[in-house]
Copies of this chain bind each other. A is one copy, B any other.
Amino acid sequence: MKLFGGIESGGTKFVCMIGDGPDHLLKEERFPTTLPHETIDRVAGFFLPYAESGELAAVGIASFGPLDLNPESPTYGYITTTPKAGWSQVNLHGEIQRRLHVPVALDTDVNAAAFGEQYWIPENRFLDPFLYLTVGTGIGVGVIVNGSPLHGLIHAEAGHFALPHNWQKDPFPGVCPYHGDCLEGLASGVAMSKRWGQSPECLPDSHPAWDLESDYIAFALADLIYAYSPKRIILGGGVSQHPGFHQTVRRKVNQFMNGYVQSSLLSDRIDEYILPPALGHRSGGLGAIAMASLMQPAGEVLADQSH
Interface residues of A (CB under 8 A from B): 66, 80-81, 128-129, 145-148, 150-165, 178-179, 181, 219, 222-231, 256-263, 265
Contacts and interface: CB of A to CB of B under 8 A. Distances in A.
The 3 closest A-B pairs by CB, nearest first: A152-B229, A146-B146, A178-B260
Given A153-B263, A162-B223, A164-B181, 8 more contacts: A81-B262, A146-B147, A146-B150, A150-B228, A150-B229, A152-B228, A158-B226, A163-B163
Given A145-B145, A160-B260, A162-B256, A154 B229 contact: yes
Contacts of A66: 261-262
27 contacts: A129-B152, A145-B146, A145-B150, A150-B229, A152-B229, A152-B231, A153-B225, A153-B261, A154-B229, A154-B261, A154-B263, A156-B227, A156-B229, A157-B226, A157-B229, A157-B261, A158-B227, A160-B260, A161-B226, A162-B219, A162-B223, A178-B258, A179-B256, A179-B257, A179-B258, A223-B227, A227-B227
Nearest to A129: B152
